[in-house]
Amino acid sequence: MKSVAVKVSASGRLHLPSEVRKALGLKGPGHVVITVTNGQATLTTMAENLARIRALARPYAPKGRLASEELIAERREEARREAADPRGTRAGGKPGTKRRAGG
């Protein structure tokens, strides 16, 4: 796509022409990210940024399991232990006094 000149209002707002929105795949309201490097601004969609972040993180993700499932399993185990402990636990997870209401 060729470069497009846009006017910046006194309040700093700018209007993205329909051809730019179409090229970016923007339909209706949404969010974009403006990155400024060496005096040059680059506009990308949030979806494009998320896809790039996911691609960067993919090599570090554990194979065959989801971190969210591990977190849920840990929380369930912690809740099971707390329910089984008649003394209760305090905020630091140390056995002892029960938590006070409101704190």
Asked whether 89 and 82 are in contact (CB, 8 A), the reply is: yes
Query: Which tens digits make up the pLDDT trace of 9-44?
Result: 999 999 999 999 999 999 888 889 999 999 999 999
Asked whether 69 and 77 are in contact (CB, 8 A), the reply is: no
Written as six digits, the tokens of 33 are 């990210």
Rounded-to-10 torsion of CA 24, 28, 34, 40: 50
Mean pLDDT across the chain: 84
Answering whether pTM is above 0.85, one says no
- Residue 80: pLDDT band with limits 50, 70, 90: very high
- For residue 84, pLDDT beyond 70: yes
Written as six digits, the tokens of 98 are 């029960």
What pLDDT, on a 0 to 100 scale, did the predictor assign at position 67? 80
**Structural domain spans, the chain:** 18-85
What pLDDT, on a 0 to 100 scale, did the predictor assign at position 87? 74
Written as six digits, the tokens of 41 are 């601004």
